[in-house]
């Protein structure tokens, strides 16, 4: 087929020409095929219940640096080391660092998340992928399907909200009651009041929406239906809510609770929810939150305590937002590369190169343009998993309307 010029042209046209990169882990065609697998799972299992992320905390987890020190016969201990010194040790052995993250996450998944204790409910299926931050440490993004979880849009909203309250919170624990969790939340779960560079990426002050508004209870904010007065209402809502932020700031150090803050702003929980709906663009979960927790990211207490590093957990409200999450998280760094490969392909086509030359050019273009951190390189070279899933997706092309089926790896 490749010797035939016309067939070759067709292959290029249909994008088949870069598909030979599919088995190469981490390439755009590789992630594209993962995406299809997830869509197959969603089609078969329905919308996943939770979207979770787990970041790495190389220095909080003192065992990583201590292990590397031990390997090198170094008698120092992390406790007496400066940040710079610890950095040097960590960089000196990215293999151990990457492998320890990998082991920690897989143990955490198996022995905590999927355990009989069911910290976020009984998991029936999952998908996760490993991604790497700019400075090179890994983190994971996961989807979990929970048995008998209420479904938004099908079940009662009250039921969904009490399900969320059971597993997700942004509460700062009482230091006297639970010092351990209090300290973790204060250390790794406070969004910076100055925000970071990544906050402003999309032209907003904070794309993670911090600070988040206080509320006496958890509710699902659905955009209110437009009517004649909506424009005006939206303006009023914005004014009233910015009044709320002013009141919060004025009484920052007085330890007032939500009701007192609402009182001072001329709001009630009911009117707050009403105004909040006017400025809501898409269905959003607003968690129960005290005024001193407006910079606290949500978490699950059991998972955060065990993981001991930043995490995120979100109840997935609808298929659309779920797909958006997956696509934007799965292909962030690969998107540019996809364009690059496309361009190389086009150039090759125009230059009338033969098949072998074209493939070579595309391969080279991939190998030379993807920047990877040391830990990411370790993951790829040593065959650590970049993704894993409770199902294997088998493509069975039958009939006029072929679709992807996912089958469980283990019979329940
Ligand atoms: Zn921010």
Same domain, 14 and 70: yes
Residues listed for the chain: 412
297 Cα: distance to centroid of ligand 1 (angstroms): 11
134 Cα: distance to centroid of ligand 1 (angstroms): 17
Where a domain ends, among 248, 271, 295? 295
Distance CA 52, CA 198 (A): 19
Record the pTM.
0.85
Same domain, 11 and 153: yes
208 Cα: distance to centroid of ligand 1 (angstroms): 6
Phi, psi for residue 362 in degrees, rounded to 5: -65, -45
304 Cα: distance to centroid of ligand 1 (angstroms): 21
41 Cα: distance to centroid of ligand 1 (angstroms): 33
pLDDT in the model for residue 336: 56
Q: What percent of the chain has pLDDT over 90?
A: 48
The number of folded domains in the chain is: 2
196 Cα: distance to centroid of ligand 1 (angstroms): 6
Q: What percent of the chain has pLDDT over 70?
A: 82
* Average pLDDT score over the chain: 85
Residue 408: HSE in the Cβ half-sphere, 13 Å Cα cutoff: 7
Tens digits of per-residue pLDDT, 244-273?
A: 999 999 998 888 999 999 999 989 999 999
296 Cα: distance to centroid of ligand 1 (angstroms): 11
DSSP letters for 340-398: HHHHHHHHHHHTT--HHHHHHHHHHHHHHH----HHHHHHHHTT--SEEESEEEEEE--
pLDDT in the model for residue 24: 78
Same domain, 211 and 172: no
188 Cα: distance to centroid of ligand 1 (angstroms): 14
| Average confidence (pLDDT) over 361-379 | 79
Q: Is-contact 20 116, C-beta < 8 A?
A: no
309 Cα: distance to centroid of ligand 1 (angstroms): 18
pLDDT in the model for residue 215: 96
Name the band, by pLDDT with cuts 50, 70 and 90, for residue 335: low
104 Cα: distance to centroid of ligand 1 (angstroms): 28
Same domain, 234 and 144: no
Where a domain ends, among 265, 295, 325? 295
Same domain, 119 and 163: yes
Query: Tokens in use for 323?
Result: 């797909």
Same domain, 247 and 273: yes
DSSP letters for 297-308: PPB-HHHHHHH-
Same domain, 227 and 183: no
Tens digits of per-residue pLDDT, 145-167?
A: 999 999 998 999 999 999 999 99
Same domain, 234 and 116: no
282 Cα: distance to centroid of ligand 1 (angstroms): 20
Same domain, 21 and 116: yes
Where a domain ends, among 278, 295, 312? 295
Range of the domain at 75: 5-190+296-408
Same domain, 235 and 331: no
**Which residues make Cβ contacts (< 8 Å) with residue 170, sequence separation at least 6?**
212, 287, 288, 289, 293, 296, 297, 298, 299
């Amino acid at each position: 087929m490749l010797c035939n010029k016309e067939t070759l042209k067709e292959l290029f046209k249909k994008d088949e020409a870069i598909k030979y990169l599919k088995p190469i882990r981490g390439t755009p065609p590789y992630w594209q095929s993962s995406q299809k697998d997830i869509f197959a799972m969603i089609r078969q299992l329905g919308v996943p219940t939770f979207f979770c992320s787990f970041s790495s905390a190389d220095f909080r987890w003192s065992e990583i640096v201590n292990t590397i020190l031990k390997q090198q016969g170094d008698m120092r201990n992390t406790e007496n080391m400066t940040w710079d010194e610890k950095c040097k040790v960590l960089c000196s052995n990215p293999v151990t660092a990457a492998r320890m993250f990998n082991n920690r996450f897989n143990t955490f998944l198996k022995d905590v998340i999927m355990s009989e204790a069911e910290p976020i409910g009984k998991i029936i299926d999952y998908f996760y992928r490993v991604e790497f931050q700019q400075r090179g440490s890994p983190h994971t993004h996961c989807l979990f399907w929970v048995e008998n979880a209420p479904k938004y849009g099908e079940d009662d909203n009250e039921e969904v909200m009490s399900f969320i309250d059971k597993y997700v919170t942004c509460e700062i624990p009482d230091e006297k009651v639970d010092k351990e969790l209090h300290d973790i939340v204060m250390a790794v779960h406070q969004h910076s009041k100055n925000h970071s560079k990544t906050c402003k990426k999309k032209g907003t002050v904070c794309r993670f929406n911090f600070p988040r508004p206080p509320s006496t209870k958890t509710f699902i904010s659905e955009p209110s239906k437009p009517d004649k007065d909506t424009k005006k209402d939206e303006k009023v809502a914005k004014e009233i809510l910015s009044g709320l932020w002013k009141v919060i700031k004025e009484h920052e150090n007085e330890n007032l609770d939500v009701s007192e803050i609402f009182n001072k702003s001329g709001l009630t929980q009911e009117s707050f929810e009403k105004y909040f709906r006017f400025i809501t663009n898409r269905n959003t979960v607003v968690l129960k939150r005290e005024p001193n927790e407006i910079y606290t990211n949500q978490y699950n207490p059991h998972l955060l305590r065990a993981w001991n590093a930043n995490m995120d957990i979100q109840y997935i409200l609808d298929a659309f937002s779920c797909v958006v999450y997956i696509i934007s998280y799965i292909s962030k760094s690969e998107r540019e590369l996809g364009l690059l490969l496309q361009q190389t392909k086009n150039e090759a086509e125009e230059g009338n190169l033969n098949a072998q030359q074209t493939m070579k050019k595309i391969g080279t273009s991939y190998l030379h343009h993807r920047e990877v951190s040391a830990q990411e390189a370790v993951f790829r070279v040593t065959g650590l998993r970049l993704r894993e899933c409770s199902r294997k997706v088998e493509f069975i092309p039958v009939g006029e309307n072929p679709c992807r089926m996912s089958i469980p790896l283990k019979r329940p």
